[in-house]
Structure 1
Amino acid sequence: MRYLPRVADDLLAVALATSGAVQVRGPKWCGKTATSLQQAGSVIYMQDPDRSQSYIALADAKPSALLEGATPRLIDEWQMAPQLWDAVRFAVDRRGEPGQFILTGSAAPTAQGAHSGVGRIATLVMRTMALFESEESTGQVSLRALFDGEAEVAGVSALDVEDIARILCRGGWPAAVTAGATASPGRLARNYVEGLIDSDVARMDGVSRNSTRMRALMRAYARHVSTRAAQATIAADLAVDDATMAPNTVSDYLGALSRAYVIEDLPAWTPALRSKTAIRTSPTRHFVDPSIGAAVMRWAPADLLRDFEAFGLQFESLCVRDLRVYAEANDGTLFHYRDKTGLEADAVVVLADGRWAPLEVKLGSRQLDDAAAHLRRLRDRVDTARMGEPSFLAVITAGATAYRRDDGVLVIPLACLRH
C-alpha cells in the first residue's frame, strides 16, 4: 500500500525526541502501525498468529526479552500483554535515552500497569485520515496561519457535495483512500463494523456482548450523531430496532465502544462569560470516523443526497474529525459550545496558550448569515477580558470558495483546510 504522509508523522518525531517511549492510540485500521513503521528501528507484532501465544507467554515470564531490538522498538497491539507497560517504563528509566519504544494499540486495556508512565511514556492519538492527508483538500487555508493572524483567506475546493457524500461513506481509512475508485464507498467501513460487532469489542476485555444489541445500539447512536442526546435518549431510541437495554447495559456497551476508539464524544467548552448565562455541558455524539455511522445505517452516497438533514449532521461529524486532527497538530483541543439561551458553536478550537476560535458547520450556503450571526453573538458573550479576543470566526462548509465576509467572518470549505 502506498504510504501517504500523515499529520502525525511530525508529532511522532517530536514525541520520540523528547520522551523515552510513545504510546500511539486510535481506532483499528487508521494507520497507526504504518505511521510508526516510518520511524521504527525494529518491530514485534503481538497479533502475529504464528507467534502470538509465545509472545504472551514470554511477556508473563520475562517481558524485558520482548523489548530487545533496534530503537525505536515498535510493539504493535501491546495491550494484548498489558504487563509490557511496566516493562517499558522500567526500561526507559534504565536506559535514560529518548526514543526507545513505540507502543501501538486499537483498544485501551481494562488492566493498566502499576505505574502511569507519566514523564516516560508520551501519548499520541491518531485518527482516520483528514481530507488534507487523503490529498482531497487543497490545503489553501491553514489553521495555524489563521491563529497566527492571517487576515485574508482564498481558495477553491475541488470537491462538490456529491464528492463529500462519497468521502463520508468511504471514510478516512487508509486502505479505502488508497484503493481509489476501485472500491465501492463504504465497503471497508462496513467490514470494520461487522468485525467490530462480531468479535473485536468482546475480545477487547473478555466480556461477552450480544451482537444484535450492539448493532442496535450503534444504529441508535448513529441517529443521534452531532447531537447532545443523553444516554437515556439513545437507550429509548433502541425501540426503533425492537431492542431494549437496561441503562447500565447501555453504559457498558458505550464504554466498550469508547475504549475501542469507535465513538469519541466532543466535550463542551466552558469559557468565562460576561453574564451568568448557564452553559450546557453535555457532549455531542460522534463516531471516530463518520463512515462508521453511515455503514451501520447502510447509507450509500445517494441516500445522504436524498436526506439533507441527515447529510448535514454527518457532514458536521466529518468536520469534527478533520478539525480534531488539525487542532491537535497545533497543540490544541476541540470543543463545542451551547448555553441555556440556545446560542451554540458546533466547534471551538482552543490552543494550549489560550487562543481560541469558534466555528459553525453548514453543509450549504443558505444558512451562512445565521451562522455568522451566531458566531458574532458568541464573541460578544464571552468575557474577552479574561479569555482574550477570538483569533477568528469561521463557518466551515461544503461549498466551493474560501473568502472573508464583509462582517469579518471567514467562510472556509472543508476541502480547502489544513493544519
Structure 2
Amino acid sequence: MIRRDSLQKIEVLLREFPAVAILGPRQVGKTTLAKSIARKLKNDVVYIDLERVSDQRKLVDPEIFFEANRDRLVLLDEVQMMPQLFAALRPEIDELRRPGRFLLTGSASPELVKGVSESLAGRIAYVELSPINLSEAKSSRYGMQRHWFRGGYPPALTAKDDPAFHRWADSFIRSYVERDLTLMFGVKLSAVIIRNFWEMLANGTGTILNIENYARALGISGPSVKRYLDYMEGAFLIRRLQPWFANVNKRIIKSPKVYVRDSGIVHALCGIPSVRELQGNIVIGGSWEGYVIEEIIRHLPANVRPFYYRTQHGAEADLILVKGMKPVACIEIKYSKAPVLKAGFYQCIKDLQTTQNWVIYSGEDNYTGREGILYTSLLYTLTQLIGKI
C-alpha cells in the first residue's frame, strides 16, 4: 500500500475530535486508509458499509446502535448515503464527548449533503484525501511522467500498462456518469449531459468558465450548467479556481477557471492513449497547468489560498498564492524546456507587488531570469519553495 501523507494528520485529529471525516472522490483509497488507521488503534472497531443494505439496516435506530458501541471506534463508510445519521451523531457526541469515537468516509462535499454542516459543527474535523500526490508516488518509485499521465488514483497509477489504465478509467468514468453522482446527492442527473460536460471540461481544462457557451453546447439552461458544476465539484472531480481581485484597482476577469482535478481522468476523457500521444495533443498545456496547480494546492500551508489573476488589459498569472489578504507569490506554468514569458506576467508582478515569482516548467534545472524570477521544476517547488511561503 502506498503510504499517504494524510495518515499522521488523521491520527492526530482522532486524538482531538470525537469525529473525523475523510472526504474525497470514490476509489481514491479512503476506505483502505480508514481501515489501516482502525487496525492501529487499541480499542475495538465496528465497520459499517453504508452502501450495503444489510449494514444500513443495523442503523434503523442509530441512537440504540451508537449507545451500544460507545466503547468502540465506529467506522461509517460512505456516510453521505445516509445523511440523516448526522442528526443522530450530534446528541450522541454531546452525551459522551470523547475523542476518537467516530471515523467517517464520504465521497461528497458536506456543503452539498443536507444537514451535515449544521448538525456537527464544532464536533467533527474534515480531511480531504486527494488522489496520490507526486511525493507519495515518488516514494513508491513511480516517476513524474507516469504520475502525470495516469493521475493519482491508486488503480490507475499502479496498472500494469497504459491499456489497463484506460480500462480502469473508462469504468470509473462510466460509474460516475451512470450511477454515482445521482446516488451521492439524491438527485436525478442526466448521464448523457454529465458525460458530454465532463469531456468538454477535460478538453478545455484550465480555461475561464463561460456558462452560456456550455449551456448552448449542452442544450440546457445556464442555471442547469451551474447545478451540474456544483455536483461535480462537490464530488471532488473538478476545481473552480477563483480570480484574485481584492484591493486591485484594475478591470479584472472575475469568472473562475475550471480544471478537471485528476490529470489521468483528463487524458482518459480526451482519449489520449499514451504519453507519446499526449506530446502532440492540443490539451497538453492545460493538462500540465492543471497537474501543477493541483500538486501545489495539495502542499499549501493552511493559511495560504490559491487564485489566478487576469486583467482585461493583459496582465495575468496562472496561479497567485495569497496569505491573509496579501498576494505573496505569482506563478506561471509552462510546458516547455525553454519557456518565454509574456509582458502580462511582469505586469502581474507589478500590480500585485509579489516578492516570490516563479516559472514552473518541464525542465529540471533551476535558474534566475529577468527581474529575479525563478525558473524551477515542479519537484523543487513542492519540496523547497512551498513550505517557505
Say yes or no: TM over 0.5: yes
Assess if the C-alpha contact under 8 Å between 1:43 and 1:76 holds in 2. no
User: 2:81 touches 2:183 (CA, 8 Å); kept in 1?
Assistant: no
Report the alpha carbon displacement of residue 10 of structure 1 after superposing the two structures with TM.
Answer: 3.2
Aligned to 2:209: 229
Deviation of the 1:172 alpha carbon: 0.3
How far apart in 2 are the matches of 1:409 and 1:212?
46
> Could you tell me whether the CA contact under 8 Å between 2:24 and 2:130 is conserved in 1?
yes
Partner of 2:105: 104
Structure 2 residue aligned with 1:125? 128
Alignment CA distance shift 1:221-1:181 (3 Å): closer
Q: Aligned equivalents of 2:12 and 2:117: distance in 1?
A: 27
Gaps of 5+ in 1: 139-157, 239-243
Contact 2:22–2:127 (CA<8 Å) still a contact in 1? yes
C-alpha contact 1:263 1:288 (8 A) present in aligned 2: yes
AA at the equivalent of 2:350:
D
Q: Within 2, Cα distance between the matches of 1:100 and 1:64?
A: 10
SS at match of 2:298: helix
Separation in structure 2 between the aligned mates of residue 330 and residue 10 of structure 1, nearest angstrom: 16
Q: What is the rounded CA distance, in whole Å, between the counterparts of 1:400 and 1:213 in structure 2?
A: 41
Paired residues of 2:306 and 2:322 also in contact (CA < 8 A) = yes
Q: State the shift of 1:226 in Å.
A: 0.1
Per the normalisation by structure 2, the TM-score is: 0.85
Q: How does 1:386-397 map to 2 (within 5 A)?
A: 389-390=354-355, 392-397=356-361
The answer on 1:324 being equivalent to 2:326 is no
Q: Is the counterpart of residue 380 in structure 1 residue 350 in structure 2? A: yes
Q: Distance in 1 between matches of 2:374 and 2:192?
A: 45
**How far apart, CA to CA, are the structure 1 residues paired with 2:262 and 2:235?**
13
Matches within 5 A, 1:215-294: 215-238=195-218, 244-273=219-248, 276-294=249-267
Q: Which whole-Å CA distance do the structure 2 matches of 1:181 and 1:69 have between them?
A: 46
Residue 90 to residue 403, structure 1, CA distance change in 2 (3 Å): farther
**Separation in 1, partners of 2:338, 2:257:** 24
Q: Deviations over 1:131-156 (max 9, x none)?
A: 11111799xxxxxxxxxxxxxxxxxx
Deviation (angstroms), 1:119: 1.8
Q: Deviations over 1:183-203 (max 9, x none)?
A: 634333222111111111122
Evaluate the alpha carbon distance shift between residue 91 and residue 333 of structure 1 in structure 2; reply closer, same or farther with a 3 A threshold: farther
**Residue among 373, 377, 381 paired with 1:409:** 373
C-alpha separation in 2, matches of 1:66 and 1:348: 50
Residues 135-146 of structure 1 correspond to what in structure 2 (within 5 A)?
A: 135=138
Q: Deviations over 1:390-414 (max 9, x none)?
A: 3x21111221223333632222222
Q: Is the 8 A contact 2:339 2:361 kept in 1?
A: no
Shift of 1:67: 5.6
Give deviations 1:8-56, integer Å, cap 9, x for gaps.
2233234334333222211111222233334334252324637234135
Aligned length: 375
Q: For residue 265 of structure 1, give the secondary structure of its aligned residue in structure 2.
A: strand
Residue deviations 1:324-343 (CA, integer Å, cap 9, x gap): 1111x554322211122221
Question: Is 2:157–2:165's contact at 8 Å kept on the other side of the alignment?
Answer: no
CA RMSD of aligned residues (A): 2.9
- Cα distance change on mapping 1:226 and 1:113 into 2, 3 Å: closer
